[in-house]
Amino acid sequence: MRCRLLLLPLLYCLHACALAQTAYTVVFGPENSAPSAIDPAGRIAGQLGGRAIVWDGSTVRDLGTLGGGGGSARGLSRNGLVTGAADRTDGSSVAFLYAGGALRDIGRLGVSSEGAGVNTHGQVAGTWVDAGGENHAFLYSDGRARDIGNLGANSARATGINAAGDVVGSSFIAGFAAVRAFLYRGGCMRDLGTLGGPASSAAAINDAGQIAGTSFINDDVQHAFLYTGGLMRDIGSLGGASTEARALNRSGHVVGYSTYPASEPGSDFSHAFVYRDGAMRDLNRITERLGIWTLLDAVGINDAGQIAASACTEFGDCRAVRLDPIRQCPARGGRPCTRGGDSGSGAPAALAPPMPATTLAVTAPARRPPAHGCR
């Protein structure tokens, strides 16, 4: 019995040490850059100096504009297509599709629009704004942008799309009573419900149909969720009242931000998290050499586990960063052997290949049956 009691603290220590083990190394982006998405090669789409950019960990590519002064990249596909919003010569801002080294205006429907997600087929999900300032969800497919409706009130936003053309986002329900996460599939928009509170929103969907988003669990506290197998699962928080999921990969690993119990809104930083293996972890505690930097928000994760995040100092310096996984090497007694998964030398991963001169796929995206209850 005495031996068993002595063993318990040791097991607890081993568990705590495993959780605290460094898991990522950081690559800092340009000053004042802001990330939005990451692709399989580790390239990050976002904004720098009011321009839409893609950063590969070393160099920055300016995607240009539609004749105006600025733009912002929001979504990045597996084959190098980019979407976002760019300014026209008349000063309006409109959704774009970047392919083959050039921006294409895909229409705005109302007074403005923005692409949020793009798949390998060149389908874009995003939001357009009418003359009254109300938001509406759209899907760009087969060369045309069209409104995909709402959940009962004339207001919706689309935030993500997968390879099958399924779209997720958020919409007001009838009477503008609350905002709900939705899944648009096969011409039908379905309310995904909540975790018990009044409102929810979906941020991203992977090719397996899993959805990451955020839901209130009561009137005051919101948690991140993973929607899988037709069920919305609470994946928790870092203890604070505000947690939001931003993205997920094919393995269902989720990233976003959360606050702590003692966090004061408007004065304390949020903390970027990764959810995997059934646990949510503060990326600040498992990333090496952060120094004076705090990882505030994680906005993208690829299948290799690389994460796009925002980092700031208390002096107001903010920028995009890429977090590369540190692989553990059994042959070296569990010591780090690979950063980013490219070699066994312990050296940083190789730079991403140049952005491809991508042409749009001619094959039609796979179709899935309509959601239950829709005709």
Which tens digits make up the pLDDT trace of 29-67? 999 999 999 999 999 999 999 999 999 999 999 999 999
Q: Which residues of 328-345 are buried (b: 16+ CB within 10 A; e: fewer)?
A: eeeeeeeebbbbbebeee
The residue written with tokens 């899935």 in the block is 368
Pair 270, 310: CB distance under 8 Å = no
Radius of gyration of the chain (CA): 21
The helix/strand count (H/E) of the chain reads as 1, 29
Which residues, in sequence order, are CB contacts of 219 under 8 Å at separation 6+?
197, 198
Measured between alpha carbons, how far is 115 from 160 in angstroms, rounded to an integer?
A: 9
pLDDT tens digits along 338-372: 444 333 323 333 344 455 544 343 333 333 433 43
Tokens representing 204 are 């991203």
CB atoms within 10 A of CB 369: 9
In this prediction, what percent of the chain has a pLDDT beyond 90? 78
